[in-house]
Amino acid sequence: MLELFLGILTAMGGFVEIGELTFAVNAGSKFGYGLLWVAAVGTIGIIVYGEMAGRVAAVRGQPVFNLIRERVGFDAGLVTLVAAVAVNVLTCAAEIGAIALVWQLFVDWPYRAWVAVAFVFLALAVWVLPFQWIERVFGLGGLLLVVFLAVAVMEAPDLAEVGAAFMPRMPALESTQEYLLYAYYSVALLSSIMLPYEVYFYSSGAVEDRWKPADVRRNRLIVVLGFVLGSLLCVALIIVGSQFFGPRHVEPQLPGVVATSAAAHFGVAGLLIAIGGMFFAFAGAAIETALSAAYGIAQFFGWPWGRFRPPREASRFTITWLAVFALATAVILTGVDPVSVVEYSIVFSVVILPLTYLPLLLVAGDRRIMGEYANGPIARALGWLYMGIVTVAALAAIPLLILTHGGQG
């Protein structure tokens, strides 16, 4: 029972990372409640695919990338793997940059110094901590972001207006350029909620935690409750963007600026809680992206993997996640603007999304493999509906990025 409770809270705390934080607040500031329905659509999507990934891992004892190779073959699978690893490295870099920005707010060292510290911290955390601890510490720490839920409440939004905004509709905007920007934000927000590494990590985690077919129901509860609660944080950030930052003409790019909304209502305590929550959320995401990449490569090539094995017994897997941290750190150390890295990581994530979801959907629905646990009518209908949605988003993402001058307008 406690396990279930912790699992739900961990899923909730791990929902937000730098991309989602930035895009949600900006979505609110630019478009008011106009993108709330996208947040809802994205949340249902990640629930659908998270549930499938967990179910497949529990029933077959196979995480996602084993399945991709079996299902799709070596060549097409290799392209998917390379793309997924590249996007994971980019996302990891974004999180490391964000961690450095956040630490800088406490102790005034140069940004690059903090980046190096972040690398050492993350590598040590994964090296030393057992898997469950990694999940729990950073997942539960991310719950500090609940302070933004409190901020949203304090802003006293019109609940009827908020509720109405969950119905998919296009707001009335002033120019073609604004419609393009709205479309871009829809795709980006969707992507930031349905980030592919979350699914890879969740499915490998299920195998790390030794799930069995009996855990299928527990998987469903964790996914539904955890992700719905997590989406409340996303909704809160949109509301904060709309009610706090919009009227102040702020479209924040830096995490510290977002934290000023917590300070405005709750003083220094609010500020510290907000920044603390951000640190755990970003660090958790950095770790998940690095491990996801390592899981993917090791599983695709059939290497021993997992944090349940001591590092010397899964040596290539260990070297891989260390290499991902190192590569991500190197990307950030080139001096590239971390805000831009965040933007590109979100856009490229949605571009590869259909490539990993399709094999998962096919395996989860295959009665020969899953037996009685294969996709029922609801999972099948939603699975294919979202396959269509993410494919459209994937194809539109790069054109929209270019047409909106890199998402700026």
Partner 1 sequence: MSGASRTRSRSAGIDRSIHLVRDVVDHEVVDAHQLPCGSVDDLELELDPRDGLRPVALLIGPGAWQRRLPSWLAVVARWIAGSAEARVPWSEIAYIGERVALRRTAEELGLGSADRRLGRWIARIPGG
Partner 2 sequence: MRWHAARWVRWLQVAVGLSIVGALGFATFVAVTGKPQSTLYITLGELRSRAAESLEIARGSAASRLTPNFVRAQAAQLASRIASLRDALADAETHDGGVADARTARPLSERLLALTRELAERADTPSAARPIERELGAIVERLVPLARSARPG
Closer Cβ to partner 2, 101 or 322, answer by number: 101
Within 7-66, the residues that bind partner 1 by CB under 8 A are 60-62, 66
Say which entry of partner 2, partner 1, none residue 130 contacts (CB below 5 to 8 A, set by partner kind). none
Angle of CA points 184, 234, 103, to nearest 5°: 95
Q: Which does 313 bind (CB under 5 to 8 A by kind): partner 1, partner 2, none?
A: partner 1
Binding mask 309-348 for partner 1 (x = CB under 8 A): -xxxxxxx-xx-----------------------------
Q: Which residues contact 59 (CB under 8 A, 6 or more apart)?
A: 213, 216, 370, 371, 373
Which 8-state DSSP code applies to residue 241? I
Amino acid at 119: F
| Minimum distance from residue 302 beta carbon to partner 1 (Å) | 4
Task: Please give the residues from 210 up to 269 whose contact with partner 2 meets the rule CB under 8 A.
Answer: 248-254, 256-257, 260, 263-264, 267-268
- Out of partner 1, partner 2, none, what residue 62 binds, judged by CB under 5 to 8 A for its kind, is partner 1
* Residue tagged 């020969």 (tokens): 368
* Phi, psi for residue 108 in degrees, rounded to 5: -85, 65
For residue 267, the partner it binds in partner 1, partner 2, none, with Cβ less than 5 to 8 A by kind, is partner 2
Number of residues that bind partner 1 (CB under 8 A): 29
The encoded tokens of residue 388 equal 């269509």
- The Cα 255–Cα 296 span in angstroms is 30
Question: Which of 304, 371 has the CB closer to partner 2?
Answer: 371
304 binds partner 1 (CB under 8 A): yes
Q: Which stretch binds partner 1 (CB under 8 A): 229-237, 247-255, 267-275, 300-308?
A: 300-308
Secondary structure of 371-400 as H, E, C letters? HHHCCCHHHHHHHHHHHHHHHHHHHHHHHH
Mark the segment that binds partner 1 (CB under 8 A) among 6-14, 302-310, 375-383, 395-403. 302-310
Distance from chain centroid for Cα 234: 11
Neighbouring C-alpha atoms within 13 Å toward the C-beta of 386: 30
Q: Which is nearer to partner 2, 49 or 227 (by Cβ)?
A: 49
Q: Considering only residues 330-369, where is the footprint of partner 2 by CB under 8 A?
A: 351-352, 354-355, 358-359, 362, 366
Span interacting with partner 1, options 35-43, 71-79, 194-202, 214-222, rule CB under 8 A:
71-79
316 makes contact, choosing from partner 2, partner 1, none, with CB < 5 to 8 Å by partner type, with partner 1
CB 195 within 8 Å of CB 91 = yes
Alpha-carbon gap, residue 129 to 115, rounded angstroms: 21
Write down the H helix ranges in 105-248: 111-128, 131-141, 146-154, 159-164, 176-193, 196-208, 216-240
Question: Which spans of this chain sit near partner 1 (rule: CB under 8 A)?
Answer: 60-62, 66, 69-70, 73-75, 77-78, 127-128, 299-305, 310-316, 318-319
